[in-house]
Amino acid sequence: MSILVLGSGQLARMMALSAYPLGISVQAVDVADNKIVDPVTKQVINNTLERLIEEVDAITVEFEHIPEDLLEIVHRSGKLKPSVEAILTGADRVREKKLLEKLDIANCPFSIVTEVKQLEDAVESLGNSLIIKASRDGYDGYGQWRLHDLAELPKLKEQLSKLDLQKVPLVVEKMLKFDRELSLVAVRNAEGDIAYYPLAENLHYQGQLHVSVAPAPHVSNELTQQAQTIFNKLAESLDYVGVLAVEFFQIGQQLLVNEIAPRVHNSGHWTMHGADTCQFENHIRAVRGLPLGSTKVTSPTAMINIIGCKNFAREMLSIPGCHMHWYGKTPREKRKMGHFNLCADNYQQLGASMLALTEYVPVENFPMLKDEARRLMDI
Task: Quick: pLDDT tens for 292-336.
Answer: 999 999 999 999 999 998 877 899 999 999 999 999 999 888 999
pLDDT cut 70: percent of the chain above it: 99
- The CA-atom distances, in angstroms, between 223 and each of 109, 179, 189, 253, 346 are 21, 13, 24, 7, 21
CA nearest neighbour of 59 among 224, 288, 237, 248: 288
Note whether 302 and 213 are within 8 A (CB): yes
Reported as a pLDDT band with limits 50, 70 and 90, residue 138 is: low
> If you ran DSSP here, which 8-state letter would residue 231 be given?
H
How wide is the angle at C-alpha 269 spanned by C-alphas 348 and 349, nearest 5°? 10
Looking at residue 26, its pLDDT comes to: 98
Looking at residue 322, its pLDDT comes to: 98
Looking at residue 317, its pLDDT comes to: 97
Note whether 181 and 248 are within 8 A (CB): yes
Looking at residue 141, its pLDDT comes to: 60
Looking at residue 312, its pLDDT comes to: 76
Q: Report, as an integer, the average pLDDT of 239-259.
A: 98
Give the domains, in start order, of the chain with CATH numbers: 2-80 (3.40.50.20), 109-174 (3.30.1490.20), 180-377 (3.30.470.20)
Amino acid identity for residue 52 in this structure: L
Looking at residue 310, its pLDDT comes to: 80
How wide is the angle at C-alpha 122 spanned by C-alphas 156 and 159, nearest 5°? 15
373-377, Cβ contacts within 8 angstroms, sequence gap of 24 or more: 375/351, 376/213, 376/217, 376/302, 376/347, 376/348, 376/350, 376/351, 377/347, 377/348, 377/351, 377/352
Measured between alpha carbons, how far is 349 from 321 in angstroms, rounded to an integer?
10
Average pLDDT of the chain is: 95
Reduce the DSSP state of residue 261 to 3 states and report it.
Answer: strand
The alpha carbons of the chain give a radius of gyration, in whole angstroms, of 21
Looking at residue 143, its pLDDT comes to: 85
Half-sphere exposure of 287 (CA within 13 A, CB side): 33
Reported as a pLDDT band with limits 50, 70 and 90, residue 153 is: very high
Looking at residue 263, its pLDDT comes to: 98
Q: Report, as an integer, the average pLDDT of 216-228.
A: 98
Measured between alpha carbons, how far is 45 from 176 in angstroms, rounded to an integer?
48
Q: Report, as an integer, the average pLDDT of 179-189.
A: 98
pLDDT, one tens digit per residue, over 59-117 is: 999 999 999 999 999 999 999 999 999 999 999 999 999 999 999 999 999 999 999 99
How wide is the angle at C-alpha 112 spanned by C-alphas 106 and 118, nearest 5°? 135
Asked if the model's pLDDT at residue 282 lies above 80, the reply is: yes
Q: Based on the number of CB atoms within 10 Å of its own CB, is 25 exposed (0-12), middle (13-18) or buried (19 or more)? A: middle
Asked if the model's pLDDT at residue 279 lies above 90, the reply is: yes
Looking at residue 313, its pLDDT comes to: 83
